[in-house]
Amino acid sequence: MDSLLFLCARRIITHRPLPTLPTHLYPILFQVAFLDGRPLVLWDLLATWPFPVLDFQRLVGHRELLQDYPCKLCIEAVIEAVVVQLWRELEEPGCHSSLRVLDMTRLSDSVSGYTAAGLTSWFSTEALAKACVEVSKHQQEFQRRRSNQHKGLSGAATAAATLQPPGVDVHTDLYVSRASYKILRDALQARAVSPLRLRCREFKAHHISASEIVTLLESLDPSCVRRVELCYNNLGLGDLLEILPHLSRFPELRSLKLQDNNIDVRRPTPESAMRIHCVARKLGMLPSLRELNLGSSRLSGNLYQILCDLQAPLESLELASCSLIPTDIAFLSQSFHAPALKRLDLSGHDFSQGLLEPLQLLLEESSSSLLQLDLMDCRIADSHLDALLPTLLRCSRLRFLGLCNNPLSTATLKDLLQKTLGLPDLHLVVYPIPKDCYKPEALDSGWNFVADDELLSATRAEISQLLENSGRTNLVWTYNPFGHEALDYFSL
């Protein structure tokens, strides 16, 4: 239920122009105007914003009210209002806004609503890049006009006439694709001289080349970057060797995600072995690295060679569908990473074939730290889960367990539920549709197994009843793997 202050603020923003406002009302008015989808009110508030910082995450919070179209209009309104204010500061000496930092990091978390995950950040990246280029061009034109107007003046007079306002730093997460590469490149390269400057906290690049990634990385502020995600870019070992040296510019880089590329070291040649060694050495030059995602890389037998030079233990390691063999998981269980792991993703491996015992050893070593465990699509049958369960129950801090797409029975899942009630922090379990809730349907091309809705509904009802009887109202069991974002253990 909304507070009385929130409801009063909603009443105020229905009238334009806004009345003269006390400073302390600006944050709540901004929040209400954004969540109610009122871009013109946001424009008015930005024109007289009384604080040096505007932080979206702090002001808007996590509210699921705003739909896609109003969300885009509101973001555009805020950016355009900042652009107009910077133009005024250029054109009218003495006209200075209080705003110096616009923090749009974690924007997609703040305004999730009906917007698909990440969509807000993709859109805001392009909008911000266009605004930076626009402001930079306006500044260059203004300086040319001023320079012509002050020809013949002394050097001191010319410098005073062309003195630039301090501008605005935009802290943001940048998501770049093929469509937005050029405009973002131009915006970042103008950063040094533009009054509107992008400072990137999280950088994501999809479907662009290694050389284009390097161009963008070279233009980022080294002090700000915390996360880099280079996915779906078809990067091989040679491409990584081109990119990784540029990541060492970022002393605070904590997370590197490289999933769904073209990294295949299953049958190393002398040349590829040397490249693996070089990649490991470059990873070792990232002293703050705590999260690594190599999902869909083919690493069979080479995990040690990739991780051997890391300076500090990883807290999050995602190795989904990496073709790991028992020696890879055995290495992990004996490494200094195991006792530090908070998140572990080994989805897409066949634990019915020799990997179960190494996994038990790994979970034993990480039991005091592990918060999230993903074992989806791992061919874990009832007997395998029975063998794994004693070790799993020692993971006393576990919050999330992912088991979907494994051939488990209803009886085994109910037993798992009952026994994991003793894990006090467990919050979410994504379980598979039980194998006894499927029915075979004959198709022309063979057999396809589909869920029997009646059996599945009965199983869901049983699970819900068990949860209700347990009193664990904070514990969620669902067979839907979507709509549940991965827990974030890094305060970036």
Contact (CB, 8 A) for 385 and 412:
yes
* Residue 273 tokens, joined: 């072995």
Residues with Cβ within 8 Å of residue 282, at least 6 apart in sequence: 240, 241, 244, 245, 247, 248
Per-residue pLDDT of the chain (492 residues; tens, 9 = 90+): 578 888 889 999 988 889 889 999 999 999 999 988 899 999 999 999 999 999 988 998 755 555 556 788 899 999 999 999 999 988 887 778 899 999 999 876 655 444 454 567 788 999 999 999 999 998 888 888 877 776 655 555 454 445 567 899 999 999 999 999 999 999 999 987 889 999 999 999 999 999 999 999 999 999 999 999 999 999 999 999 999 999 999 999 999 999 999 999 888 888 889 999 999 999 999 999 999 999 999 999 999 999 999 999 999 999 999 999 999 999 999 999 999 999 999 999 999 889 999 999 999 999 999 999 999 999 999 999 999 999 999 999 999 999 999 999 999 999 999 999 999 999 999 999 999 998 876 444 444 568 889 999 999 999 999 999 999 988 999 998 886 666 666 654
Summary count for the chain: helices (H), strands (E): 18, 15
Distance (Å, whole) CA 360 – CA 416: 17
Q: What SS3 string covers 175-201?
A: EECCCCHHHHHHHHHCCCCCCEEEEEE
What are the boundaries of each domain within the chain? 4-102
Query: What would the DSSP string read from start to end of 338-364?
Result: GGG-SEEE-TT--TTSS-HHHHHHHHH
The identity of residue 320, as a single letter, is: A
- DSSP H or E stretch at residue 109: helix 107-110
Report the Cα–Cα distance between both ends of the chain, in Å, rounded: 30
